[in-house]
Amino acid sequence: MNESQLVTFLTVAQYKSYSKAAIMLEVTQPTITSRIKTLEEILDCSLFERNGHEIILTREGELFTDYAHNILSYMDYSREIPKMLKNPSIKIGFTPGYSYSFITEVLKTIQAVKDIDIQIIEGHDSVSLNERALAGEIDLIFTREILTNTPDITSEYLFDNNLVCVLPSDHRLSNKHILSTSDLKGETVLSYKRNSTLWRMIDKQLLGAKNITRVDVDNNEMLLKAVEDGIGIGIIPRLGIDNYCKPEIAVRKITEIDNIPNKVYVQYRETSQMKGIAKKVIYAIINHRYSAVT
């Protein structure tokens, strides 16, 4: 079984035609036929059957499709091994809403493991990060949406990253320990990445707040600075708050928003390089969560 046979199989499955597959792969139709026949002999089953003018997958062919995709992915990853040995690197993806101290904790942990190049990537949301992890573009991701039915990717739940309201410590609402959306009447609400899935859930709950003004900023740190300067109040995940901001900023729950699920999952591809690093990152992050953020 080789790469050309697998690519040919998937191309025939996509176009439901040997002749179209031959055109797409720029080979002769007998070559397509020969590759499929050899693959069927190796697997000891028929992969295609004719349905009128179309070539369709058999039940065995349908089952083999996922295996073919995975085998080709592993082949692509294996080509990166020489490069990894010469210049080992790791790409880490975060959804928006993590403080610099949280990300720094991850960087320190990885640096302590071995000499390795690190690239930090902020995704638009969990969906886009998950897609990039599946495509092999990112090695380890922190997201709120768990990947399922992906045997080559490990997903581990870390903890809940509840949404909170941040406001100046001298704000009129800082005297209340728990807020409701009705308390936000007339307020300026700061946000970032408002077109993300998480913020669409927040906006649904904010329908109960009347006459609010919206200000969308570029990132978590800009939001916190705007709150410190009294421009408005913000809604961010708990782990988006740096320790140095606490004297100037009050943190309060908003009842309706506190119920929005925002779990943190760490997900990584099962390779010998990533396994050890991921475990150390997980332990460091859990320690950070329960010591640095209270």
Of the two residues 215 and 96, the one the predictor is more confident about is 215
Residue 13, CA distances (Å) to 43, 56, 106, 250 in order: 16, 7, 42, 58
28 band by pLDDT with thresholds 50, 70 and 90: very high
- The distance from CA 101 to its chain's CA centroid, rounded to whole angstroms, is 20
77 band by pLDDT with thresholds 50, 70 and 90: low
Buried/exposed code over 176-187 (b: 16+ C-beta within 10 A; e: otherwise): eeebebebbeeb
289 band by pLDDT with thresholds 50, 70 and 90: low
Q: What is the pLDDT of residue 293?
A: 47
What is the β-pairing status of strands 188-192 and 233-237?
parallel
Q: Is CATH 3.40.190.10 the classification given to domain 87-160+262-291?
A: yes
Secondary-structure class of domain 163-258 per CATH: alpha beta
Judged by average pLDDT, the poorest of 38-52, 148-162, 200-214, 253-267 is: 148-162
Query: What kind of fold does domain 3-79 have according to CATH?
Result: Arc Repressor Mutant, subunit A (1.10.10)
pLDDT tens sequence across 149-197: 777 788 888 888 889 999 998 999 998 989 999 999 999 999 887 777 8
pTM of the model: 0.59
Average pLDDT over residues 273-292: 68
Q: What is the pLDDT of residue 37?
A: 92
Q: What is the pLDDT of residue 135?
A: 80
Give the orientation angle of helix 3-15 with respect to helix 18-25, to 10 degrees. 130
Please tell me if the domain spanning 87-160+262-291 has the same topology as the one spanning 163-258. Answer: yes
Q: What is the pLDDT of residue 291?
A: 59
- Where do the domains of the chain lie? 3-79, 87-160+262-291, 163-258
